[in-house]
């Protein structure tokens, strides 16, 4: 059997080869790409030699056009349970095998709560002021008695509800398919969408991106928010109308936004969201944890191992 060429894409932290034992894969050649290539033509040129691609969540879109230009490609292993940026129909038509890895559910809600806490207590600003020699420059927000509005009460949203209850917050929730009974089972009160945005001190979004949910948070929703309220989005950028959000933040109509996801990723260095002083943001690191990465790369190796066994 000829040497199998494997590419690991978008390994921003350069940790993929340290997270698991790749040496169990025999007769393979592994190349790690730490940078992100967004130009389709350059991406095709980069990937043409490879038989196997290990892709990280939705960092590199693999469209029908790109996949059709990779004649050597036989297998894609994607981290996580879903990857909306890969054309599954094209994979089937081209005869390319597709596998996915397991996932650790705790990273995203923990980061979401960290962003909420950091905004409530002005952690970033106070740390910067401390380093510059200042002392006690802001006044924080007490969480007890405040209202957390959760848009989407699934696995992650339900965890957020549990965190909020531990801080004696009121929890309300809405989504298109949420019922009063399901909300109560998760420790939340069902409300209408309009009520959620009017009543919440913090709005946290936890929906799966689809054609139906794209732009589900629009200008009218943002206008209903209190001027002291915060919007948190650690799910997917396009769930929120970006232009409306930017205008809302520029005009200081809400206290701020805590963001981990964006319409375009990586976010351009000159993007306006990087410049607004009422934005606290991270670079889509909700799932970027030690345990999660170990599952991702352990399972990637196992998937490739099983696939290679079918070729013997």
Catalytic residues: 236, 265, 284
DSSP designation for 8: E
Output the CA angle 18-24-25, nearest 5 degrees.
100
C-alpha dihedral over 31, 35, 40, 45, to 10 degrees? -30
Gap between the Cα atoms of 109 and 150, Å rounded: 12
Output the CA angle 244-249-252, nearest 5 degrees.
125
Cis peptide preceding 266, ω within 30 of 0: yes
- Around 254, how many Cα atoms within 13 Å sit in the side-chain half-sphere? 31
Gap between the Cα atoms of 259 and 127, Å rounded: 19
């Amino acid at each position: 059997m000829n040497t199998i060429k494997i590419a690991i894409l978008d390994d921003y932290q350069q940790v993929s080869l340290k997270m698991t034992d790749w040496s169990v894969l025999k007769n393979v050649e592994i190349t790690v790409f730490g940078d992100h290539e967004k130009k389709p033509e350059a991406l095709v040129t980069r990937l043409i030699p490879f038989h196997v691609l290990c892709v990280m969540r939705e960092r590199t879109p693999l469209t029908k056009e790109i996949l059709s230009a990779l004649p050597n490609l036989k297998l894609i292993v994607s981290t996580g349970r879903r990857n909306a940026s890969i054309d599954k129909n094209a994979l089937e038509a081209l005869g390319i095998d597709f596998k996915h890895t397991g996932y650790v559910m705790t990273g995203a809600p923990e980061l979401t709560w960290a962003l909420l806490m950091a905004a409530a207590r002005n952690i970033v600003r106070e740390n910067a002021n401390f380093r510059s020699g200042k002392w006690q420059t802001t006044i924080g927000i007490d969480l007890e008695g405040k209202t957390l509005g959760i848009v989407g009460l699934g696995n992650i949203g339900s965890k957020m509800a549990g965190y909020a209850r531990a801080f004696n917050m009121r929890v309300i929730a809405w989504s298109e398919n949420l019922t009063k009974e399901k909300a109560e089972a998760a420790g939340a009160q069902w409300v209408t969408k309009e009520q959620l945005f009017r009543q919440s001190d913090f709005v946290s979004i936890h929906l799966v991106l689809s054609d139906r949910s794209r732009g589900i948070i629009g200008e009218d929703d943002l206008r209903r928010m209190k001027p002291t309220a915060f919007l948190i989005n650690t799910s997917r950028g396009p769930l929120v109308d970006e232009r409306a959000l930017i205008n809302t933040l520029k005009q200081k109509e809400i206290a701020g936004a805590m963001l981990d996801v964006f319409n375009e990723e990586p976010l351009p260095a000159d993007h306006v969201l990087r410049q607004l002083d009422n934005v606290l943001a991270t670079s889509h690191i909700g799932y970027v944890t030690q345990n999660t990465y170990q599952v991702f790369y352990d399972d990637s190796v196992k998937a490739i191992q099983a696939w290679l066994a079918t070729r013997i």
